[in-house]
Structure 1
Amino acid sequence: MKIAPSLLASDFSKLASELKDIEQGGADYIHLDVMDGHFVPNLSFGVPVISSLRKCTSLPFDVHLMTYHPEAYLDGLEACHTHMVSFHVEAVPHVDRMIHNIQDRGMKAGIALNPGTSLSTIEEILPIIDFVLIMSVNPGFGGQKFIPYSLDKIARLSASIRKLGKDIPIEVDGGVNKDNAPLLKKAGASILVAGSSVFGKEDRAAAIKALRV
């Protein structure tokens, strides 16, 4: 299991030390939520902040674009040496084109699905994507409770991936904690995004270890 602490739950007044703390604590990625105030009601941070963080950590960047027009961010994210980029199928009319836009820049392309969005929306393009991000809360706010029916959705997606005979990681974001981490692994998740369950703990290394089931 890979762990991707979400910067949204960190102390923004000391981002450099927060990043150092989770890197030393064994995090696999740093999850960066970009919000535009339109696709989701909140604003977070954009490429300039992400760029400034690059010199603070060697952790791979896992950027989740909760935005309309995610293509506008790709040049900047490529310049930041971003490893993974996910965008919402609900926000993009030309999904195939967006996937290739990301991959042509040397980044992993992922599709994010809101809780109420059917897996059928990615059936056609599943063979060409690099990972899938399942939202287990409604996006735009931190600290929400895990939506239980997400487990069945993850299990069905995992079965579809196995049927394809491909290795497509399933990432899960929203309400992840040490109690549901074993259930998420059993359902087929391989990357867990964790906000307050890592950054809300004094001992980040212990918090990450508790999630790594």
Structure 2
Amino acid sequence: MIGSVHFVPNLTIGAPVIKSLRKHTKAYLDCHLMVTNPIDYVEPLGDAGASGFTFHVEVSKENWQQIIQEIKSKGMRPGVALRPGTPIEEVYPLVESENPVEMVLVMTVEPGFGGQKFMPEMMAKVENLRKRYPSLDIEVDGGLGPSTIEMAASAGANCIVAGSSVFGSPEPAQVILHMRKAVDGAQHGN
């Protein structure tokens, strides 16, 4: 979460950290911005080497087309996120436009703080998206771990964000492996 005017109250990683990380990895560096003015961060994050840039639909109703265009012009992959209380229909225009987002992030907790409890009722949004857009990347963030991954994967999520369940585990590699297998199995019908 980056920015000076925040959609959520805490700040995590900014462009200087992305720039430092990029020097040491070719990994996909995905930036989820929970800020009021995401367009202000497109250029700095693109210049720093970010791979993906996900902004919130709730703060971009007036300029989402411009945001998507600028994200792509900086060589990043655009995504849109929505909070639990936001109807899924609000992202349809961004997925269906001539210049669409390439990923939708369904938040299964209120954005801003780690360690929150997974909201299973958000899986209806994931199922809806998967049915409507079979090839869309659908990401789920919030409360994901060994006890909730099957629910997200079977609903149609193919991108998973996990923090507390991985970093708080005595065996993080095992948690990652378990979650990866769940998503791969759901995608391949196993």
> What's the TM-score once normalised by structure 2's chain length?
0.87
Query: Which segments of 5 or more consecutive residues in structure 1 lack a partner in the other structure?
Result: 1-32
Matched, 1:116 2:88: no
Whole-angstrom distance in 2 between the partners of 1:191 and 1:202: 23
Match of 1:178 in 2: 146
Alignment check: 8 A CA contact 1:171 1:190 kept: yes
Match of 1:134 in 2: 106
Map 1:97-112; keep pairs closer than 5 Å.
97-112=66-81
User: 164, 176, 179: which one pairs with 1:208?
Assistant: 176
Alignment check: 8 A CA contact 2:106 2:140 kept: yes
Whole-angstrom distance in 2 between the partners of 1:189 and 1:197: 17
Quick one: percent identity of the two aligned structures? Answer: 40
> What's the TM-score once normalised by structure 1's chain length?
0.78
Matched, 1:125 2:94: yes
Matched, 1:68 2:40: no
Query: Which segments of 5 or more consecutive residues in structure 2 lack a partner in the other structure?
Result: 183-190
Q: SS where residue 160 of structure 2 aligns?
A: strand
Alignment check: 8 A CA contact 1:151 1:183 kept: yes
Alignment check: 8 A CA contact 1:34 1:65 kept: yes
Equivalent pairs, count? 177
Q: SS where residue 137 of structure 1 aligns?
A: coil
Q: Post-superposition shift, 1:36?
A: 4.5
User: Relative contact order: is structure 1 or structure 2 higher (C-alpha 8 Å, sep ≥ 6)?
Assistant: 1
